[in-house]
Amino acid sequence: MIKRTIQQMVEMMDGAFCTSLDQHIQIQGVSIDSRTVQLQNLFIPIKGDHFNGHQFVQKAIDLGAAATLWMEDEPSPPTEIPVIYVKDTLVAIQSLAREYRKQLKTKVIGITGSNGKTSTKDILASVLETQFKTQKTYGNLNNHLGVPLTILQLSSQTEMAVIEMGMSDLGEIELLSSIALPDVAIITNIGEAHLDQLKSRERIAQAKLEILSGLRHNGIFIYDGDEPLLQEAVRLQNLGDHAVTVGLQSSNSYYPSFISIEREGVSFALPAQRPVFHLPMLGKHQVLNALSAIAVCHYYGISNEQIQNGFLKAKITGGRNEIIKTPKYTVLNDSYKSNPSSLRVSLETLSTLHDYKKKIVVLGDMNGLGDDEVSLHEKAGAQLDPNKIDYVFTVGMLAEHIAKIAKKRFIEGRVSSYQSTQQEELIAQLREVAEANSIILIKGSRENKLDQLVDDLKDSRVSMREAVGVL
């Protein structure tokens, strides 16, 4: 974590000043949450439309904060600890993180994309940490506040940092890239997320390409070479050998010579190279995420054998194609996010899993799709194949459109709709239809709170290690 004196921190934030008490006090780390303040932290009160962190400064002081930021127009600053005055605490934490990043020798890998960025982060960090002191974005701290917090948590001894970057509109990735200053930038893919703001996949691609704005001199850019929306845009950047493509087509810099979908994960190989890679994560799409990780690792001199060792230690962030075993059935937990492209991938993954007696899907609303939200849900319903899926349950008002179309193809009684407030009824019906050795795909967005449904289903789970024997 950042360790600087108050005076040094003031110098790292444009326009900041501190007029009281000892400016030579050593700060160790920052916090924006008064409930988690540690001794010697700098407390940073964030002000939003419906909250004001300045109201919790006293609690931060009581827990051991050594100093606090304070917006100049806020009344009644504390007097018992040093106060650093700034115009805007959010801008200040971003400036502090940017300057701290410049002072670090750490190599930063920035990852964005409509889908797959968290899995790519997890895969890559697991490999890098076999050779380097590595840190990564925790959870989903990938926005205008999360990225600065991630950077300020980096140790001065950290050699590699894998930082996830999310966005909902133009300009946001550019800001994050200017803070993180990546040595390697990755775009996993271009999907339909955030159509409500950006209106088209073309503008989504434009927004994702903003990651190049902070890419350091001679850094490399790794991207989905099978995506036409990126191909021409990247060509105009004149990156030459610094652009590396991954994909399924043989025209890419990295592509698989074969893919084997297995119950425990996926296996694949690079053309004319050994070994065969085994990744204990489900779905063909994970091969593309792994290829990005391999490209980074080769850039930093990590061998294929070392990469394979890292793959086997991959630590998966919960809610993303997470396999949960219970004594009766298997849950495929993909409850963190849903959009048309990620739903297609989840259904494809489910279709590759054999030897299950029944396959059941629980689908929540896909949010952020703009004017086409109804038609995109209807298209999702048309993708559901009664020859591959036994039961369909939907949760939410938008997801009712999935059910409406699916009912036209499924036997009566095999498709049902629920609202988020009806989880008890849904869990009862799921337990009724889920025979021994069934698999249940849970796919939705956080707003549907399907993670609570997962918790209900996994009461009697066994560990992943016991379930697949490969982690």
- Known binding residue 115? Answer is yes
Which pLDDT tens digits describe the chain residue by residue (471 residues)?
999 999 999 999 988 999 877 889 999 999 999 999 999 999 999 998 888 999 999 999 999 999 999 999 999 999 999 999 999 999 999 999 999 999 999 999 999 998 889 999 999 999 999 999 999 998 888 999 999 999 999 999 999 999 999 988 899 999 999 999 999 999 999 987 767 777 788 888 999 999 999 999 999 999 999 999 998 888 888 888 899 999 999 999 999 999 998 877 899 999 988 889 999 988 889 999 999 999 999 999 999 999 999 999 887 777 777 888 888 889 999 888 888 988 999 999 899 888 899 999 999 999 888 888 999 999 999 999 999 999 999 999 999 999 999 999 999 999 999 998 898 999 999 989 998 999 999 998 877 788 888 888 876 444 333 333 332
Q: What domains are there in the chain, each with its CATH number?
A: 3-95 (3.40.1390.10), 104-311 (3.40.1190.10), 322-468 (3.90.190.20)
Q: What angle do CA 197, 152, 169 make, to 5 degrees?
A: 5
C-alpha 34/C-alpha 200 separation (Å) is: 40
- Known binding residue 114? Answer is yes
| CB contact at 8 A, 331 and 358 | no
pTM score, two decimals? 0.87
C-alpha 254/C-alpha 272 separation (Å) is: 12
Which H or E run includes 123? helix 117-128
Q: Beta 26-28 vs 3-5: how paired, if at all?
A: antiparallel
Q: Beta 42-43 vs 67-71: how paired, if at all?
A: parallel
DSSP bridge pairs for 5: 26
Query: What pLDDT, on the 0 to 100 scale, is given for residue 343?
Result: 93
- Known binding residue 117? Answer is yes
- Known binding residue 119? Answer is yes
- In which residue are the tokens 């091969």 written? 287
